Amino acid sequence: MKILYGTTNKAKLQAMKNALKNMDIQLIGLNDIEKELPVISESGNTPLENARIKARAYYKAFGIPVFSCDSGLYFDEVADSDQPGLHIRRVNGIELTDEQMIEHYAALANRYGGRITGRYRNAIYFILDENRHYSSMSMAIATEPFILASKPHTKRVEGFPLDALSVDIATGKYYYDLDVKDVSTSVDDGVRDFFGKILK
């Protein structure tokens, strides 16, 4: 089955292809669509509301099975006024580059003692057809808790800037120094389960 993942982020598309690689799904992204993309205002108050807004807009525009995802980033030790929440990349109305994000979040961690504990709460909204819509924001698709450090790793992966600051709680090592770990792989089982139940 061909399914559109509503993203132009190549790294996110590849990560989702990896998560769903053993399923009978041909995953394409918005860059594979040869039509004009709709302009979408992500005006929701939660990751799930934003995922729904995007999925509905893409389904209306292209008429094929589509899902969209959205995330919020939340830290245990951080004041409400400093929580990124839905605005992980957008700070004070400005869309940050990958390097600007690393600088911003390293400074945030530094303000709170150099290490803060975070978790991404993820949402997914999937439209199979007009009558079949499915969604989740369960903890099964949230990342495991991780430490965000004030000193970045030297490695960079385009589209995943905060992985350069992410430290595994159990080992104290940067995720980039572990064999098969990053902040997104912990949600793969939950994503596979979500699609598996719908498409079985």
Share of the chain above pLDDT 90, in %: 84
2-199: CATH topology: Maf protein (3.90.950)
- Active site annotation includes 32: no
> Among 70, 76, 82, 179, which one carries the catalytic annotation?
70
Helices (H), the chain: 10-19, 47-62, 98-111, 188-199
Average pLDDT over residues 1-26: 94
pLDDT at 50 over 70: yes
SS (H, E, C) 126-149: EEEECCEEEEECCHHHCCCCEEEE
pLDDT in tens, 69-107: 999 999 999 999 999 999 899 898 899 999 999 999 999
Q: Model-level pTM greater than 0.85? A: no
pLDDT in tens, 130-164: 999 999 999 999 988 999 999 999 999 898 899 99
Domain ranges of the chain: 2-199
